[in-house]
Amino acid sequence: MTDLFQKLKRIVSEEYISDSIYVRHAYSRNVDPVLQGVPEYVIRPKDEFEISEILQVANEEKIPVIPRGGGDCEFGGSKPIGDTGIVLDLTRMNHILNMDHDNLVVTVEAGITWANLNNFLSQYGLYTGCLGPGSGLTASIGGGLSHHSVGGGGGAKYGSCSNQLVSLQVVLPTGEIIETGSQANKYSKSPFNRFGNGPDLSGFFCGDNGIFGIKTKATLQIFPKPPYAEYKTFLMPRKSNEVSSIIFSEIRKKGIDVYDAIFFMDLLVSVGVQNGFFPMWEDLKRKRGTIFYVIEANSEKELKEKTKQLDSIFISNKAEALGSEISEGNMGKWFYEEQGHWLYAHNLWGLVPGFESLDAECKVPIVTYPAILKDLDQWDFEHKEDMETILKIAGMRPVTGSGPIILLKGNTVELTCGFTSFSSYINGEYHPELEKLNLKLWKSILERVTKHGVMWYMMGDITSRLMVDIGAYNGEFYNLMKSIKKTLDPNMILSSGKYNFWNQ
Ligand SMILES: Cc1cc2nc3c(=O)[nH]c(=O)nc-3n(C[C@H](O)[C@H](O)[C@H](O)COP(=O)(O)OP(=O)(O)OC[C@H]3O[C@@H](n4cnc5c(N)ncnc54)[C@H](O)[C@@H]3O)c2cc1C
């Protein structure tokens, strides 16, 4: 047993630390089939004090530490870069610490899932507004805040989950434990507001992809869930990419308060229906793009008025309403009433054995996504030989495009850009050439999309390094981020390798 392992074992009890090859391999990947990094140790800490001690040892020994929540990152963010380091699995820290009914805030440990927190809140008629990511059944609050996650419901009304953050407890890379927001005043009894006592240091840790500190506790705003809701799904006319973008813009320009509005492009609907991942659309006469909305209201009158205004936008753009039941194609109802918001993205992975998505998620202005979708088609055409090679090996041609396109608070949408491919193990056979090809194509498509000026928001291993490698960062922004990193983490132990700071 190494000295380091012995030191770590003095901090956490035996059952929560492992150097077993099986455990280490289980933590060596996230969702994609290409990026892997096998950690030396896996630890499941109990609280911020254990984390602080682990970080102090890691600094002494100069070993990387990688925080991990649900491990649902699609871009290799919650596994080591290279075969090294300690993965800190935070899912043991999953308690609800304080429910403040007067101030409508809740304080939780960062390893709790969005589903467990919202399940608890629902008994009081409350919810977190943005319900986190589409992976909210397993993804954690800490992971969501580290990614600015959005997409698991409520994105059009509340925006990214970090919008509703009030304060954080964070263990810095050198082991100090800090609190942000109202808690910067040591006389404040419990968190109640984010902005004040100096700059917004809570925001500083949001979207940091785990490089500036380890979030251990979070206080979030919570909201009463309105008693009335309406949801409708529409079949789009021709040129559905362009028309959906017009519809989203009109919703914003008319100031209609919509909870969610999500567009599925033509290709996604037809591949999805063919392969059975959108069963509610199997009877569609035309496999065209679809769009659904969800609105909430405090009275029937308010609901009727909003529905009327929204429907007029859809109808004037020649969209055709599907029936009101899920069996008639109303995905909006499934999404809002039956927790489809935490299920609709899952089938894009693992539809057939080995089938995987190689993508990344970005925010773009509403008006720009039709052009990006067109360019994705062009990119696919330019890479048709590589696509044919994958078809020959896997028996299915990759599909290039976007997943669901989600209207966000403000005038932006969330766009998933990428292609589906296969892992290098197919029917028990290993195809190393596929791994190389996947990585080459993945980087190529992300570079192409980056040059449209998009904003990647969960960056992990691949996108954070690619932005640097292709020189896409504004130099002053990147240099500031690098100096902050150096000040907070002089030994570069936390999430080493992300953003390629010192070509690690
Ligand atoms: C089926 C599916 C659907 C998805 N849908 C969406 C979606 O709709 N919207 C969306 O935004 N994303 C989506 N994702 C991506 C991902 O699941 C989310 O971004 C999610 O918020 C990640 O949470 P996690 O707990 O799994 O984080 P992890 O994958 O464990 O970690 C994510 C990043 O945060 C860091 N991190 C984790 N916890 C902490 C912490 N406590 N302190 C500091 N750093 C930390 C990690 O090091 C890593 O860089 C989806 C993924 C899948 C597989």
- Residue 285 confidence (pLDDT): 84
- The answer to whether the CB of 231 falls within 8 A of the CB of 333 is yes
For ligand 1, atom 36, the nearest C-alpha belongs to: 143
H or E stretch at 68: strand 65-68
Digit-coded pLDDT (tens) for 323-364: 999 999 999 999 999 999 999 888 777 667 778 889 999 999
How far is residue 165's CA from residue 52's CA, in Å, rounded to a whole number?
A: 23
H or E stretch at 401: strand 400-401
For ligand 1, atom 37, the nearest C-alpha belongs to: 143
- Ligand 1 — pocket residues by CB below 6 A? 30-31, 66-74, 77-78, 90, 110, 133-135, 139-140, 142-144, 146-147, 149-152, 209-210, 214-215, 345-346, 349, 361, 458, 460, 495
Q: What b/e sequence results for 271-289 when a residue is b if at least 16 CB atoms lie within 10 Å of its CB, and e otherwise?
A: bbbeeeebebbeebeebbb
For ligand 1, atom 28, the nearest C-alpha belongs to: 71
Residue 123 has φ and ψ, to the nearest 5°, of -70, -15
DSSP 8-state code for residue 313 = H
CA–centroid distance, residue 165 to ligand 1 (Å): 16
- The answer to whether the CB of 366 falls within 8 A of the CB of 81 is no
- The answer to whether the CB of 24 falls within 8 A of the CB of 42 is yes
| Residues of the chain falling short of pLDDT 50 | none
Q: CB 248: neighbour CB atoms within 10 A? A: 27
CA–centroid distance, residue 367 to ligand 1 (Å): 27
- Residue 140 confidence (pLDDT): 98
- Residue 504 confidence (pLDDT): 62
Atom of ligand 1 at shortest distance to CA of 90? 41
pTM value is 0.97
CA–centroid distance, residue 71 to ligand 1 (Å): 6
How far is residue 3's CA from residue 267's CA, in Å, rounded to a whole number?
A: 55
Q: CB 491: neighbour CB atoms within 10 A? A: 17
CA–centroid distance, residue 137 to ligand 1 (Å): 11
Q: CB 240: neighbour CB atoms within 10 A? A: 23
How far is residue 318's CA from residue 303's CA, in Å, rounded to a whole number?
A: 22
One-letter amino acid for residue 6 of the chain: Q
CA–centroid distance, residue 395 to ligand 1 (Å): 31
CA–centroid distance, residue 139 to ligand 1 (Å): 6
Of 49, 35, 51, the C-alpha closest to 86 is: 51
How far is residue 460's CA from residue 447's CA, in Å, rounded to a whole number?
A: 15
Residue 416 has φ and ψ, to the nearest 5°, of -100, 125
Q: CB 187: neighbour CB atoms within 10 A? A: 4
CA–centroid distance, residue 254 to ligand 1 (Å): 33
How far is residue 247's CA from residue 258's CA, in Å, rounded to a whole number?
A: 12
Cα–chain center distance at 322:
29
Digit-coded pLDDT (tens) for 371-423: 999 999 999 999 999 999 999 999 989 989 999 999 999 999 999 999 999 98
